[in-house]
């Protein structure tokens, strides 16, 4: 006997044939069903449906065996994934504690400290030991900050020593999260060719007027024009290859710059950069290391609605878009499993990316140890949040326990939940509308797309963006 899976989201009737879309968060797939079929599912009468319909729904995990403990299976899949040997050893390195910018929402304390040579040596030993004790094929380094490019000499040293230690035949690649100020052409080329950087993420918080209210230098100077020029120069190079190194633009949003987002979307398109970047994405500002930077954030509902409007505008302007909904997420973040560690410029070792350079966490369990006091094979058995999935499965402490979106979300950020904030991503508020949008894109011909999108968006009201239960 089959039952309707708990992990589904159904739209209202979506077309004049009276059909609905049902989306399974366990498979990430969608099925179009008649309203009658949907009523049968709700009334637990799946066995009365035609065999073909049942098979189809079962294959997509919209129908599951009535005895299946779905939550237990989802968690067990996540655990299995965490234990499955990966080809990639992912490590995060913060080569310096310095950054030119003094963004008001930043929770880090920046100082002129750089990873010292003795720590670089220990870092290389640690990464090499990890690599050699697993079945890895390559190393991927996330170069984070503070501002990683201010520690470029340290990055070079790490790369050189790591190459020597792992052997030239082992690929070392990475991604960089940078404020973009030092991203001059020659540095970009070095990142792509020497560091094998496959993605660079730069933050622009709106057009200049808004961005510069968020992201000014420590001495109070503007930063937008410099960053944007660097970006344009790189993207317009004749040899720029968007497949080799993806350029991602992040936009942090709160009340202060929300009106600067749409002009930014338009500016990037006007300059023809929208077809060259990999993506432009939006994030609500949250409290970072207890700094309460979220005081002037939009409500989650408002943000979710605005975000959908921005995504629609991007489609209208011809941005590259993902074209699919969310897929199954088996590892929430580096804290919930896997071998990844983060090393800061003082040699501290963490398993979470939001801890370093802040006094707030100084005495917390997040600080696993230091490179100077541990050896290459010191293991840290009690990492914070390694029991996250177990907690989600066995307790009702967090709403993720009963959330239908758990398979595609993973609980978002365990640290945020522990600290008392509701960590749900925007799609917790927009998932139904997002499914409708996807349907509209798939069923609308190009000649009427603009009109249809405009019509779709004009129906939005804040009550469409409620927390999905
Ligand atoms: S963080 Fe929110 S959306 Fe994600 S699983 Fe938990 S309750 Fe669901
Ligand atoms: S616990 Fe939260 S902040 Fe830490 S790595 Fe995971 S998602 Fe990021």
Greatest Cα-to-Cα distance within the chain, rounded to the nearest angstrom:
71
Q: How far does residue 49's CA lie from ligand 2's centre (Å)?
A: 44
Task: Supply the residue whose CA is at minimum distance from atom 3 of ligand 1.
Answer: 424
Of the ligands numbered here, which is closest to the C-alpha atom of 468? Answer: 1
- Residue nearest atom 4 of ligand 1, based on CA coordinates: 411
- Could you report the per-residue pLDDT of 112-168, keeping only the tens digit for each? 999 999 999 999 999 999 999 999 999 999 999 999 999 999 999 999 999 999 999
Residue 323's pLDDT band, with cuts at 50, 70 and 90, is confident
Q: Residue 367 forms beta bridges with which residues?
A: 350
Which ligand 1 atom sits nearest the alpha carbon of residue 425?
3
Closest residue CA from atom 4 of ligand 2: 352
Q: Tell me the CA–centroid distance for residue 339 and ligand 2, in Å.
A: 14
75 lines ligand 1 (CB under 6 A): no
Tell me, using a 6 A CB cutoff, whether residue 403 lines ligand 1.
Answer: yes
* Cis peptide bond upstream of 146, omega within 30: yes
Rounded CA-CA distance 248/228 in Å is 13
| Residue 335 Cα to ligand 1 middle (Å) | 16
Beta-ladder partners of 141:
91, 174
Residue 188 tokens, joined? 């970009």
Rounded Cα distance between 146 and 159, Å, is: 19
In angstroms, the CA 461 to CA 463 distance is 5
Taking the C-alpha atoms of residue 448 and residue 285, their distance in angstroms, rounded to an integer, is: 36
Compute the distance between CA of residue 66 and CA of residue 351 in angstroms, rounded to an integer. 38
Structure tokens of 426? 């925007």
402 alpha carbon to ligand 1 midpoint, in Å? 9
* Distance from C-alpha of 354 to C-alpha of 350, rounded to nearest angstrom: 9
In terms of pLDDT, which residue wins out, 385 or 382? 385
List all residues whose CB is within 6 A of at least one atom of ligand 2.
333-335, 352-354, 385, 413-416
Q: Which ligand is nearest to the CA of 423?
A: 1
Q: Give the ligand at the shortest distance from the Cα of 332.
A: 2
Does residue 238 register a pLDDT over 80?
yes
The full length of the chain comes to: 469
pLDDT category at 288 given cuts 50, 70, 90 is confident
Q: What is the pLDDT of residues 7-21, one digit of tens each?
A: 999 999 999 999 999
Ligand 1 in reach of 74 Cβ (< 6 A): no
Pick the atom of ligand 1 nearest to 403's CA. Answer: 8
Judge whether residue 322 has pLDDT over 80. Answer: no
Provide the mean pLDDT of the chain: 96
The b-or-e profile of 22-56 (16+ CB within 10 A means b, else e) is bbbbbbbbbbebeeebbebbeeeebeebeeebbee
Quick check: CB of 102 below 6 Å from ligand 1?
Answer: no
Asked if residues 386 and 336 have their Cβ atoms less than 8 Å apart, the reply is yes
pLDDT at res. 363: 84
Q: For atom 2 of ligand 1, which residue has the closest CA?
A: 424
Q: Which ligand 1 atom minimizes the distance to the CA of 417?
A: 1
Query: Is residue 88 within a helix (H) or strand (E), and if so which, with residue range?
Result: strand 88-93
Q: What is the pLDDT of residues 420-443, one digit of tens each?
A: 999 999 999 999 999 999 999 999
Strand partners for 343: 93, 349
Helix then strand then coil, in percent of the chain rounded to 5, is 40, 15, 45
CB 142 within 8 A of CB 90: yes
**Is the pLDDT confidence value at 102 over 80?**
yes
CA nearest 355: which of 414, 399, 420, 408?
Answer: 414
Residues 20 and 9: beta-carbon distance below 8 Å: no
Q: Is the pLDDT of residue 413 over 80?
A: yes
Q: Is 199 left (phi over 0), alpha (psi -120 to 50) or beta?
A: beta
> CB of 55 within 8 A of CB of 21?
no
Instruction: Return d(Cα 34, Cα 18) in angstroms, integer.
Output: 6
Q: Which of 205-214, 375-384, 403-412 has the lowest mean pLDDT?
A: 375-384
171 C-beta neighbours (distance < 10 Å), count: 12
Q: Is 249 in the pocket of ligand 1 (CB under 6 A)?
A: no
């Amino acid at each position: 006997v089959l039952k309707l899976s708990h992990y589904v989201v159904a739209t209202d009737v979506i077309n004049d044939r009276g059909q609905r879309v049902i989306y399974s968060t366990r498979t990430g797939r969608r099925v179009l069903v008649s309203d009658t079929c949907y009523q049968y599912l709700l009334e637990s009468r799946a066995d009365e449906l035609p065999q073909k319909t049942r098979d189809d729904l079962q294959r997509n995990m919209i129908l599951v065996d009535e005895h299946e403990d779905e939550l237990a299976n989802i968690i067990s899949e996540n655990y299995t994934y965490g234990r499955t040997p990966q080809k990639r050893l992912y490590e995060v390195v913060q080569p310096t504690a310095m950054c030119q910018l003094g963004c008001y929402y930043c929770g880090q304390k920046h100082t002129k400290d750089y990873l010292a040579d003795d720590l670089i040596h220990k870092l290389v030993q640690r990464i090499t030991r990890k690599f050699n004790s697993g079945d890895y094929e390559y190393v991927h380094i996330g170069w984070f900050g503070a501002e990683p490019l201010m520690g470029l000499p340290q990055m070079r040293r790490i790369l050189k020593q790591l190459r020597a230690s792992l052997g030239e035949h082992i690929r070392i690649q990475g991604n960089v999260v940078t404020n973009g100020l030092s991203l001059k052409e020659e540095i970009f080329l070095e990142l792509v060719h020497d560091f094998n950087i496959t993605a660079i993420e730069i933050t622009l918080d709106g057009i200049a007027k808004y961005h510069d209210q968020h992201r000014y230098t420590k001495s109070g100077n503007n930063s937008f024009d410099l960053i944007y020029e660097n970006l344009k120069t790189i993207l317009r190079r004749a040899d720029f290859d968007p497949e080799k190194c993806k350029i991602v633009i992040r936009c942090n949003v709160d009340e202060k710059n929300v009106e600067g987002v749409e002009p930014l979307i338009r500016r990037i398109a006007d300059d023809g950069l929208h077809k060259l970047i990999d993506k432009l994405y939006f994030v609500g500002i949250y409290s970072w290391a207890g700094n309460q930077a979220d005081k002037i954030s939009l409500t989650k509902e408002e943000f979710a609605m605005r975000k959908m409007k921005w995504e629609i505008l991007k489609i209208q302007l011809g941005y590259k878009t993902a074209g699919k909904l969310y897929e199954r997420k088996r590892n929430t973040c580096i804290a919930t499993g896997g071998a990844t560690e983060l090393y800061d410029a003082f040699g501290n070792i963490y398993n979470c990316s939001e801890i370093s350079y802040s006094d707030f966490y100084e005495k917390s369990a997040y600080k696993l140890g230091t490179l100077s006091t541990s050896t290459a094979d010191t293991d840290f058995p009690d990492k914070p949040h390694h029991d996250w999935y177990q907690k989600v499965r066995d307790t009702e402490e967090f709403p993720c326990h009963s959330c239908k979106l758990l398979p595609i979300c993973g609980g978002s950020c365990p640290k945020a939940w522990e600290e008392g904030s509701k960590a749900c991503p925007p799609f917790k508020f927009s998932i139904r509308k997002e499914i409708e949008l996807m349907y509209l894109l798939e069923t609308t011909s190009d000649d009427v797309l603009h009109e249809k999108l405009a019509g779709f968006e004009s129906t939005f009201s804040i009550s469409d963006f409620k927390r999905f239960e």
